[in-house]
Amino acid sequence: MKVYIVDKAHTGIWGKDAVVSFSNTDAIVHLPEGTDPVRQCRMAAVRMNSLGFNQAELTGEEWTDELIYAFWQGFFDVRHKNRLSFGEHSRELDELIRVEGWVRDLINRSPSELFPEKLISEVENFIFALKGKQNITTNAYFGDELRIHNYIGTYTVGKGSSNQPGVLMIDYNPTGSSTVDLCLVGKGITFDSGGYSIKTGDYMRSMKSDMGGAATMAGVLALIILKNINLHVKLYICAAENMISGSSYKVDDIINFPNGVSVEVRNTDAEGRLVLADGLIKSSSSAPTLIIDAATLTGAAKVALGREYNAALSFDESLSFGFKESAESVHESAWPLPLTAKHRNEIKSDVADIANSTSGEGYAGASTAAAFLSNFVRDGIPWLHIDLSGSFLKSATDEFLPGAKGHGVRSIVRFVEDRIASLQKVKLSSDRI
């Protein structure tokens, strides 16, 4: 079916607020003045899918790269039944669809198919497929090797599964510099049962998506490479299954991290922050200009923001509010949540330095989770935490079909483009003092 764009509202049988109407064998997307064209195109795609149309040919000069991409976002389905074609467009659009399509497909994979070792190999192979191994080095460790190399959190969370945990580090260095500009850390929990703090069935149903942070950050690095952004970047993927067995970690365990911080386990379902701690410690050892981590970390962020917005948290509000602006500039949604010293005080433990969970009325779950992570970031290094509340949908919305959205990849890349140069100047000035 050919799909055209008009800049007028529909006045016929499809209703005055129709985002898409139909005429013979054609569909018409309506973008009247005062509406958001990107949102309208996503909604039109979802609407066409709901009416049983699974083939679309975007026709006419009105289809800009941004509107083509928006329609593609809404038309993307887990089983790839929908088919989309479009005319002349840019290389950048091809690259964006390639990367975000891969991210969405990876998150949508079955957890029996995508276990930690498989996740790591998929990420490594995808990055190498972009431009070969030029300027790229990798290291991967699995199982007992994690203890030897001080990835204690990932080892502890994953040791109860028959699928061994692993950590992947990718170093992309087109500058040839020993100075690291950016460290990316992604949570790669390929399935989260909750461990001994077991989830109920409905909450477990979408836990194949708990590696969304790893997929998102791999997508960020991929776009940085394809866009030829001249930065020295390190990516850490911390991957594990959180399962129940005789060797699983338990409530009341104490984990001693190599940076000297001890952690009381109060909830084995608060495992994501334990694996992220490994990546943040390693990132801090590189003294980068900026650290960003991304994770499907808390239900509290979804309660606060729903599944449309990603949450941004930092002790430096210019980073969290700046991320909101960067997201808006690429038609994605993010919102800052508070992070202060008060939240660090709320995770104190009587038997260790900190606890991996808080509970009770009045506790800000997303903020205390970020406060936990802050204990593994070296003082003085700019750091942004992104809780990916908007990365996955259990059911369709008016803009996306069920499954992974890829929401966050463009936001993070744009934020890096917007912020890294100014942070480098600040770092250079402080180094000279």
Residues 163 and 80 grouped into a single domain? no
Query: By C-alpha distance, which of 340, 345, 369 is closest to 356?
Result: 369
Q: What is the pLDDT of residue 429?
A: 53
CA atoms within 13 A on the CB side of 266: 16
> Which among 29, 59, 89 is the end of a domain?
89
Residues 344 and 417 grouped into a single domain? yes
Residues 353-409: pLDDT tens digits?
A: 999 998 777 789 999 999 999 999 999 999 999 999 999 999 999 999 999 999 999
Query: Does 344 qualify as catalytic in the annotation?
Result: no
The burial class, CB within 10 Å (0-12 / 13-18 / 19+), for 113 is exposed
Percent of the chain with pLDDT over 90: 91
Residues 261 and 346 grouped into a single domain? yes
Residues 137 and 70 grouped into a single domain? no
Residues 215 and 259 grouped into a single domain? yes
Q: Which two tokens stand for residue 203?
A: 């909450």
User: Which residue of the set 273, 324, 410, 419 is catalytic?
Assistant: 273
Query: By C-alpha distance, which of 384, 394, 185, 336 is closest to 272?
Result: 185
Is residue 426's pLDDT more than 70? Answer: no
> Which among 89, 114, 144 is the end of a domain?
89
> Which among 57, 89, 121 is the end of a domain?
89
Residues 196 and 318 grouped into a single domain? yes
* Sequential DSSP letters for 154-167: HHHHHTTSSS--EE
Q: Indicate the pTM of the whole model.
A: 0.96
Residues 232 and 294 grouped into a single domain? yes
Residues 292 and 201 grouped into a single domain? yes
Tell whether 394 is covered by a domain. yes
Q: What is the pLDDT of residue 432?
A: 45
Residues 179 and 206 grouped into a single domain? yes
Tell whether 332 is covered by a domain. yes
Domain range holding 9? 2-89
Residues 204-256: pLDDT tens digits?
A: 999 999 999 999 999 999 999 999 999 999 999 999 999 999 999 999 999 99
As for how many domains the chain has, the answer is: 2
Residues 175 and 30 grouped into a single domain? no
118 within 8 A of 163, measured Cβ to Cβ: no
Tell whether 241 is covered by a domain. yes
Tell whether 94 is covered by a domain. no
Residues 44 and 183 grouped into a single domain? no
Tell whether 272 is covered by a domain. yes
Alpha carbon dihedral 139, 375, 219, 221, in 10-degree steps, equals -60
Residues 256 and 352 grouped into a single domain? yes
The domain that holds 320 is classified in CATH as: 3.40.630.10
Residues 296-306: pLDDT tens digits?
A: 999 999 999 99
Tell whether 345 is covered by a domain. yes
Quick one: CA dihedral 148, 152, 155, 156, positive or negative?
Answer: positive
261 within 8 A of 375, measured Cβ to Cβ: yes
Mean pLDDT (the chain) is 95
Is residue 335's pLDDT more than 80? Answer: yes
Residues 139-184: pLDDT tens digits?
A: 999 999 999 999 999 999 999 999 999 999 999 999 999 999 999 9
Query: Does 187 qualify as catalytic in the annotation?
Result: no
